[in-house]
Amino acid sequence: MRAIQIHSFGGPEVLQLDEVTPPLLEVGHVIVHTRAAGVNPIDWKTREGGGAASFSGGVPLILGWEMSGEIESVGTGISIFNPGDAVMGLLNFPQPGRCYAEQVNANAAHLVLKPKNLSFAEAAALPLAGLTAWQALYDHAHLQAGQRVVISAAAGGVGHLAVQIAKAAGAEVIAVASQANHDYLRQLGADAVIDYHSTELSDAVQDVDIILDGVGGLSAVQACRCLNHNGIMVTLPSATAQQVIDAASQTGHRVTGMRVVPNADQLQELADLAEQGKLRVEVAARFPFTEVAAAHQASQSGKTRGKIVLEF
């Protein structure tokens, strides 16, 4: 089969189209014929030697943690899936998911059936960002109806799903994004929008229960000033999480980092919301998988609305 591998860590030029041995079927696993794979910032951070590179076991490495496709064969012990089923999942994270490949060996416990109303591209874009938003809001921040929630990087992969998940939970949602994304975010359900280029968040909003921070660094440290006494920030970029936690502890603000984990029960909740038309998955751009370098460059621009997807 063909796969995108890296043989050294570095820039987009290290992404290489290789002919490799197809994966072998394991107990509890299925082989999926990949139709699409989501591209996330963790992909290019890992390609550069950061991100999840320390979990990779070195190079050569097939990147990619989320995909959609059709099941080709089913290992022993699997009764919930059959050959031909259309599925999607976040695989193995932070261990290698190896989704930039024509065939993927997937742990069945990381998969759910693809909602019929999502295309393969939309389905491949949902698992990593959707589970991140879900776990940040529910598992780490214990989101409840009526709470005031700020989502930064609100138009991005995680943010655009978090806006909708928080809104569906009955929260008041304040989305932080560039002006060009404000109408889009209001359509997704944001009650208010703030332009981070022209407005200091803490000047515009106070008494916040939850901040989902997709930016990190100094921006996150400053945003903590909006939190109320019981408020909590979940900061996503792992490279700056400890810095934000340490700075916030000096001003008495509660901040936690997190790492998304595969969870089929939660992914099923997201699939149900999508199937009911309550969760829209925005695919900003699709690239043939052979043009993966361009897809990484687009993700690395930091300007993505929704998600970038590779198609097989």
Name the residues that contact ligand NAP, by CB under 6 A. 40-42, 129, 132, 152-153, 155-159, 177-178, 181, 196, 214-215, 219, 236-238, 258-260, 299, 302-305
Amino acid, single-letter form, for residue 109 = A
Cβ 61 to ligand NAP, closest distance in Å?
A: 18
Q: CB of 239: closest distance to ligand NAP in angstroms?
A: 8
Q: CB nearer to ligand NAP: give 23 or 51.
A: 51
Phi-psi region of 57 (alpha: psi -120 to 50; beta: other; left: phi over 0): left
C-alpha separations of 48 from 45, 56, 166, 300 in Å: 5, 12, 33, 11
Comparison of 103 and 181: residue with beta carbon closer to ligand NAP: 181
Minimum distance of ligand NAP from residue 283's CB (angstroms):
12
Query: Mind giving me the DSSP string for 56-103?
Result: TTSSSEE---EEEEEEEEE-TT--S--TT-EEEEE-STTS----SBSE
Residues ≥6 apart with Cβ < 8 Å to 48: 9, 10, 11
> Closest approach of Cβ 292 to ligand NAP, in Å?
16
Exposed/middle/buried for residue 42 (C-beta within 10 Å: 0-12, 13-18, 19+): buried
Q: In terms of CB distance, is 81 or 196 closer to ligand NAP?
A: 196
Of 41 and 75, CB closest to ligand NAP? 41
- Please give the Cα distance from 170 to 179 (Å, whole number): 25
**Cβ proximity to ligand NAP, 86 vs 258, nearer residue:** 258
Q: How far is CA 47 from CA 7, 42, 52, 305, in A?
A: 10, 8, 9, 22
Helix (H) or strand (E) holding 159: helix 157-168
Residue 114 DSSP symbol:
P
Instruction: State how far the Cα of 107 lies from the Cα of 12, in Å rounded to an integer.
Output: 29
Give the residue with the Cβ less far from ligand NAP, 253 or 305. Answer: 305
59 vs 66: CA distance, rounded Å: 20
Nearest to ligand NAP of 71, 244 (CB atom) = 244
- Smallest gap from Cβ 215 to ligand NAP, in A, equals 4
User: Over the range 75-104, which residues count as b (16 or more CB within 10 Å of their CB) and which as e?
Assistant: beebeebeeebbbbbbbbbbebbbbbbbbb
Residue whose CB is less far from ligand NAP, 87 or 295: 295
Q: In the complex, which residue's CB is closest to ligand NAP?
A: 156
Q: How far is the CB of 47 from ligand NAP (least distance, A)?
A: 13
Minimum gap (Å) between residue 236 Cβ and ligand NAP: 3
Least distance from C-beta 160 to ligand NAP, angstroms? 8
